[in-house]
Structure 1
Amino acid sequence: MSHSLTHLDHHGHAHMVDVSDKSPSKRTATARGVLTMKPETLSKILAGGLAKGDVLATARIAGIQAAKKTSDLIPLCHPLMLTKISVDITQLNECQLEVLCTCALSGKTGVEMEALTGVSVAALTLYDMCKAVDKGIVIENVQLLQKTGGKSGDWSAKNEPN
């Protein structure tokens, strides 16, 4: 496995990687992010007590839309025909929500950026919808949890040294 920066050509210039000779394979990626907020903010979210409406449903939809638009946001990403996007938001404790985004396709390039973009935009949407009651919400620990498929094979954050 090469550890070179694939988005740089032999002159060091940024370029889009040519994947035309790669064989399609099933690829998945899951990313996560954590939001920390006041306990009363989380209570309002879970009770549906915010003026902007169903915060969790809106954040899930925003995450799905963002994953589909990743190549419009990240300059060297390939446009992908995703076959699955899921955004799950769960309560970790009295002041934290976890956002997970999983993307999948059968194709020539991975979906890590799509999963990370989905998590990021879902988290930003949660912040946007809750900022009127809690401007101190912190979005943290956005990271890739795992990916499967492709030339480099499977990878998991669990297997990485700290």
Structure 2
Amino acid sequence: MTRLLIIGPPFRTNVGQETPLGVEAAKYLDDGAFVPDHLTTALVKDRLLDADVQPGFLLDGFPRAAPQIMELDNMLASQGHRLEAVVELRAPDSELEQRMLQRAKEQGRKDDTVEVFRRRLDLYHRETHEAVAVYAGRGKVVSVEGSGAPCAITERAIAAVEKFLAAGVNP
């Protein structure tokens, strides 16, 4: 079995370490805005240079907008990687809001407010949905039901990606 490393946009790590890019990213995160493309891609590009991603990785939350897709394509090509699949987790907005409120209780993140969440959700519907459409046009999207317990969602996602890759639809 190949080890798969999950990489989220390295905002929190950089914010926590107060790197120059992290300080800049914090301004956007605290307001519930997406971090601008130039900053996000710089953070992801640096992270993809780390040795631990070489066996394989899953990007969580990147690319979030269509302009970031070209940047990711270039990053992957220059580092000898290729995108095999895009997992789209689908869940009702109301369930996502409840999860965010629960996370706020558990983690105490100051950016986990209903107002911030709704702003992010609006950005998703306006921008990230377009990125999913681009990948759907490339035949890369694997849609997974994202409701329920995290372990059940994870199992569904793994099974769906394994089935997708085994079907050989991925060039």
TM-score by length of 1: 0.24
**Which structure is higher in helix share?**
2
**Which structure is higher in strand share?**
1
Structure label with greater radius of gyration: 1
**Higher relative contact order, chain-length normalized (CA < 8 Å, sep 6+):** 1
TM-score by length of 2: 0.23
